[in-house]
Amino acid sequence: MLLTVDIGNSNIVMGNFSGDDLIETIRVETFDYSSWKKAINKLSGFEKASIVSVVPAVLADFMSYLEQFIEKDSIRIISPLMKNTGVYFEEKGVNPAELGADLFANAVANYHLFKRKVLSVDLGTASKFCVIEEDGLYIGTTIVPGMRIALDALLEKAPLLPQIPFEPTDKIINNTTIPCMQSGIFFGYCALVDGLIRKIKKEQGDLYVVLTGGIGAVLYEYLQEIDKYLPSLTLQGANILYRM
């Protein structure tokens, strides 16, 4: 059994793979150390691990705890500098040393799973839109603040505004504060995602659009430009990269 881990800025997602089959997943808050330790205990039975991380401080603690269960040599840290993965970079294109490990894992998963030109849309703390050619060439990325960051910034600048849920409203135009904000952030962000996808398609040509990320789960049913929703995309990449 292989433990795959995606350590993000807001959440850690863990999943056990048996070959190509994802058996179970657990999502916890990144800086809730007791919760992710309990999650590791719950997912026991793994013999090796493949870790994608964009939070170095948490990665160090995570590794230290994980080594209580398995040997250090059986743990692989995913890096965009890995070779012979199917995904590659042009000499004057994207510098892999500057690319997040999560985006690299997503690119590898997209390349091996779909074998076509893909727009990978990862909606999390930040929203990342990445284009990968059919032959595995990583074209590039655009990044915008995530939906939660946008809402938190609004509430920080206007402290009298109330907290609101991440849920759609029946109407877009409303007449009381909470549904006005709720519809604006929810449907406004859907419009941002769909609109940016359309602009990227106009620039890059025909693309197969694959959605992932924690916010992706919230917005998926309300987006019009998505071809495939794959919440486990980063874990799939970690699994593929370990086996390679």
Q: Which domains does the chain have, with CATH numbers?
A: 2-77 (3.30.420.40), 79-233 (3.30.420.40)
What does the radius of gyration of the chain's CA atoms come to, in whole angstroms?
A: 19
State the pTM of this model. 0.92
The dihedral region occupied by 136, where left means phi > 0, alpha psi between -120 and 50, and beta the remainder, is left
Closest to 144 measured CA to CA, from 104, 106, 197: 197
User: Phi/psi of residue 107, each to 5°?
Assistant: -60, -45
Which listed residue (6, 21, 102, 135) is catalytic?
A: 102
Report the pLDDT value the prediction gives residue 181, as an integer from 0 to 100.
85
In sequence order, the 6+-apart residues with CB closer than 8 A to the CB of 106 are 120, 122, 130, 212, 233, 234, 237
Q: What does the pLDDT profile of the chain (244 residues) look like in tens digits?
A: 999 999 999 999 999 999 999 999 999 999 999 999 999 988 878 999 999 999 999 999 999 999 999 989 999 999 999 999 999 999 888 999 999 999 999 999 999 999 999 999 999 989 999 999 999 999 999 999 998 888 777 777 666 566 777 788 999 999 888 888 889 989 999 999 999 999 999 999 999 999 999 899 999 999 999 999 999 999 999 999 999 8
- Residue 102 among the catalytic residues: yes
Task: Determine the angle formed by the axes of helices 33-42 and 56-66, rounding to 10 degrees.
Answer: 40
Task: Identify the pLDDT of residue 159.
Answer: 64
Cα dist from 183 to 149, 156, 168, 170, 173, whole Å? 16, 19, 6, 8, 7
